[in-house]
Amino acid sequence: MRLHTHLAFRAWLFGTTLTSVLLVGCGGDNASRRSEAESTGASSVAGEGAGAAESIGAQPSEVVFRDVARESGIEFRHRTGFDGHYWFPEITTPGCAIFDADGDGLEDIFFVDGGVLTPGVSTEEARPHHRLYRNLGEGRFQDMTETSGIVGAGYGQGAAVGDYDGDGDLDLYLTNVGANQLFLNTGSGRFREVAKEAGVDDASWSSSAAFADVDQDGDLDLYVANYCLWSQAAQVPCKTPSGEPDYCNPKAFEPAPDTFYRNRGDGTFETATVSSGISASYGRGLGVVIADLNGDDLPDIYVANDGDPNSLWLGNGDGTFREDGLLSGSALNAQGNTEASMGVTLTDLESDGDWDIFITHMTGETNTLYRNEGNGFFEDWGVRSLISPSVPLTGFGTLFFDADFDGDDDLYIANGAVIKSPDAAREPWPYAQRDQFFVSNGGAEFTELLPATTPWLVPEAVGRGAAFGDLDGDGDVDVVVANAEGAPFVLRNESKRGGHHWVGLRLRETDRNVEAIGAVVQLQVDLADGAVTTPRKRVSRDGSYASSNEARVAFGLPAAASSAVARIHWPDGTDESVVLPVLDRDFYVAKGRGLVDRSGTPISSEEWAALGNSGDLVEGAVSSGSGEAGAVAEAAGDDPLPEITLSANIPPLPELSKVDESVAERVRAAHDVLSSSPDLALAWKDYGLALYADAGDEDGARVSLEQAVARNPEDVRSLYLLAVLEAARGETGPSRAYLRRTLEIAPDYTPARIRLGELRSADGDHESAERLFREVLEANPEDSDALEGLGRLARSRGDLAGAVQLLDRAVRSDPSSRGAHYELGLALRAQGELDRARSELEAATRAGRKDLRDPWLLELREGRGGDNQLLTAANQARLAGDLARAEELYAEYTKRKPDDPIGWSNLAAAERDLGKLGAARASIQRALTLDSESARLLALSASLEIKGGNLSGAEELLRHAVRADSSLAQAWFDLGSIQMAQSDRFAAVTSFQRYTELRPADPNGYFQLGEAAVSIGEMDRGREAFEQVVRQDSTQVSALFRLGGLDLREQDGVAAEARFRSALRRNPAWAEAHLGLAHALRLQGKEEEALREAERALSLKPESEGLQRSVTSFKAAK
Phi-psi region of 243 (alpha: psi -120 to 50; beta: other; left: phi over 0): left
239-242 long-range contacts (CB < 8 A, ≥24 apart) are: 240/30, 240/419, 240/420, 240/425, 241/30, 242/422, 242/425
For residues 1101 and 1095, give the distance between their C-alpha atoms in angstroms, rounded to a whole number: 10
pLDDT of residue 346: 97
* DSSP symbols for 537-555: EE--S--BTT-B--S-EEE
| Burial zone of 859 (CB within 10 Å; 0-12 exposed, 13-18 middle, 19+ buried) | exposed
Domain segments of the chain as ranges? 501-618, 630-746, 748-861
Closest to 550 in 3D by CA, of 611, 603, 461, 476:
476
Q: What do you get for the CA distance between the two ends of the chain, in Å?
A: 69
* CA 858/CA 508 separation, integer angstroms: 39
The reply to whether omega before 652 is within 30° of 0 (cis) is no
CA 903 to chain centre: 47
Collect contacts of 926-930 with beta carbons under 8 A, ≥24 apart.
926/894, 927/901, 927/902, 928/901, 930/899, 930/900, 930/901, 930/904
| Dihedral over alpha carbons 389, 391, 397, 402 (to 10 degrees) | 20
Of the options 3.30.70.360, 1.20.1250.20, 1.25.40.10, 3.30.1180.20, the CATH number for the domain spanning 748-861: 1.25.40.10
Q: What is the pLDDT of residue 388?
A: 58
* Sign, Cα dihedral of 284, 290, 291, 297: positive
Ramachandran angles phi, psi of 448, nearest 5° = -80, 135
Beta-carbon contacts of 5 under 8 Å, excluding residues fewer than 6 positions away, are 371, 379, 380, 381, 382, 383
Domains 501-618 and 630-746 belong to one CATH topology: no
Residue 293 corresponds to which amino acid? L
Tell me the CA distances in angstroms from 984 to 627, 977, 978, 981, 1004, one per residue in order.
Answer: 36, 10, 8, 8, 19
**With contact defined as beta carbons under 8 Å apart, do 685 and 860 qualify?**
no
Cβ atoms of 245 and 425 within 8 Å: the answer is no
- Other CB atoms within 10 Å distance of the CB of residue 798: 9
Residue 266's Cβ-count burial label (10 Å; 0-12, 13-18, 19+) is: exposed
Q: 641, 597, 631, 629: which is closest to 616 by C-alpha?
A: 597
CA atoms lying within 13 Å on the CB side of residue 133:
27
Report the side by side order of strands in the sheet with 585-590: 553-557, 501-508, 585-590, 594-596
**Cβ contact 1014:988 at 8 Å:** no
CA gap 629, 832 in Å, rounded: 38
Q: Are 128 and 144 in contact (CB under 8 A)?
A: no
CA separation for the pair 471, 468 (Å, rounded): 9
The DSSP bridge partners found for residue 846 are none
- The span from the CA of 562 to the CA of 334, in Å, is 44
* Strand, coil or helix: 1022: helix
Angle, alpha carbons 811-764-629 (nearest 5°): 70
Three-state SS at 278: helix
**Which residues touch 376 (CB under 8 Å, ≥6 apart)?**
293, 294, 295, 314, 324, 328
Between strands 356-359 and 53-55, the pairing is: unpaired
For residue 630, which of 587, 584, 595 has the smallest C-alpha distance?
A: 595
pLDDT for 492 equals 96
Residue 1060 DSSP SS3:
helix
Is the four-CA dihedral 453, 456, 457, 461 of positive or negative sign? positive
Give the residues of the chain that fall short of pLDDT 70: 1-61, 382-388, 421-429, 510, 604-638, 658-660, 662, 848, 850-851, 856, 858-873, 875-881, 1117-1118
Residues 136 and 108: their CA atoms lie apart, in Å, by 9
Q: Residues 501-618: name the CATH superfamily.
A: Carboxypeptidase-like, regulatory domain (2.60.40.1120)
Strands 311-315, 321-323: pairing is antiparallel
Run of H or E including 858: helix 855-862
What Cα–Cα distance (Å) separates residue 521 from each residue in 293, 538, 634? 16, 6, 18
CATH 3.20.20.70 for domain 630-746, yes or no, is no
Please choose, from the candidates 638, 649, 645, 819, the residue with its C-alpha nearest in 3D space to the C-alpha of residue 731: 638
* CB atoms closer than 10 angstroms to residue 558: 16
C-beta atoms surrounding 659 within 10 Å? 16
> CB–CB of 837/826 below 8 Å?
yes
Q: How many residues does the chain have?
A: 1118
C-alpha closest to that of 160 among 150, 170, 145, 168: 170
When computed from its CA atoms, the radius of gyration of the chain, rounded to whole angstroms, is 35
Amino acid at position 100, single letter: D
Do residues 1063 and 1037 lie in contact, with contact meaning Cβ atoms separated by under 8 Å?
Answer: yes
Instruction: Measure CA 927 to chain center.
Output: 48
Yes or no: say if 508 and 588 are a contact pair by the CB < 8 Å rule: yes
